[in-house]
Structure 1
Amino acid sequence: MDSAPRASAPDSARATATNGNSRRGVIDLARLAVEDTIRLVQQEIQLAKVEIQEMLRSNIKAAVILALAAVCALFFLVMLLVTVALVIPAHALVAGIETAVFLVLLLILALVGKSMLKIGPPPKTMTTLKEDAEWAKQVLKRNGK
């Protein structure tokens, strides 16, 4: 009988040490989860910055082309007015050709510029955010069991 309480004393000390280790293990896991979450958010922000910079560069190029299209539209209007004013056959032919050339340039530049515009949220960032949200939902479901 005397030996039974002695044997249980070291077992209870081990149990207390194990509880302390498991508590520290949970704290360490929570700390790692928070650090990983912070790192993930920082990486998402960095991705969004890079993607927005790429979109900005592309949109600046598109804006320049659209500005050229606007200049061509101005020339088109001037040439159209000159064409109307100069209905005389020889002058009208030259003015009409110039008007047609600027109209073609206007249409080409406007269509190219419009196609280059990228408006909306950054697609890569949105995709990764959706993936991260889905991953977080799965982790919460798994931990909620």
Structure 2
Amino acid sequence: MSTLDPHGATASASHDPAGSGHETRSLGEIVGEVTADLSTLMKQELELAKVELKQEATKAGKGAGMLAGAGVAGHLVLVFLSLALMFVLDNVMPIELAALITAVVWGVVAAILAVLGRSNLKKANPQLPKTQQTLKEDASWAKTQTS
């Protein structure tokens, strides 16, 4: 009788020398093998989860970095262009109105940057689809081993 582990390898059970087809492994040996297999399986699943989490954290970090960079650049641009725009508009209207118009323009720019940064953060997938799939496969394999 052969058993199949989750990676496709087979392990043959020993048979009695009389050839009657009965296995000579004790319950303790079987439990030990299953325990060792489950331990190996759990280590592999944890390693896969670590790799996937690192990949997703990198995506999220890039999105956050883009948002931070957009914030700094937006602030500097806001200061200098706001002053220039206010002085240009001051030629045709009161400075107060020129300042208000300038603030509204840069508010729109900030909103656009926030939407773009948020969409980058949403692209990160913290659900670990590969790990979920292999866990389902492992559970199915474990059920076939117990029956």
TM-score range, shorter chain: 0.5 to 0.7
Check conservation: 2:67, 2:114, Cα contact below 8 A.
Answer: yes
Deviation at 1:40, TM superposition (A): 0.2
Aligned equivalents of 1:115, 1:135: Cα separation in 2: 38
Task: List aligned pairs for 1:1-145, cutoff 5 A.
Answer: 22=23, 24-75=25-76, 77-78=78-79, 82=83, 85-86=86-87, 87-89=89-91, 103=109, 107=112, 109-117=113-121, 118-140=124-146, 143=147
Question: What whole-Å deviation, never above 9, does each CA across 1:51-108 have from its counterpart, x for those lacking one?
Answer: 1111122221111101122224434654675477432248x7xx97xx67x928x73x
Identity between Structure 1 and Structure 2 (%): 33
2:118 counterpart letter in structure 1: K
Structure 2, unmatched stretches of 5+, are 1-17, 93-97
Aligned equivalents of 2:48, 2:42: Cα separation in 1: 10
Q: Quote the RMSD (CA, aligned, Å).
A: 3.9
Match of 2:25, SS state, is helix
TM-score w.r.t. structure 2 length?
0.56
Aligned equivalents of 2:116, 2:44: Cα separation in 1: 34
Structure 1, unmatched stretches of 5+, are 1-16
Bigger Rg, which one: 1
Q: 1:89 to 1:129 in 2, by over 3 A?
A: farther
Aligned equivalents of 1:134, 1:116: Cα separation in 2: 35
* Deviating more after overlay: 64-73 vs 77-86: 77-86
* Deviating more after overlay: 73-82 vs 50-59: 73-82
TM-score w.r.t. structure 1 length?
0.57
Deviation at 1:34, TM superposition (A): 1.1
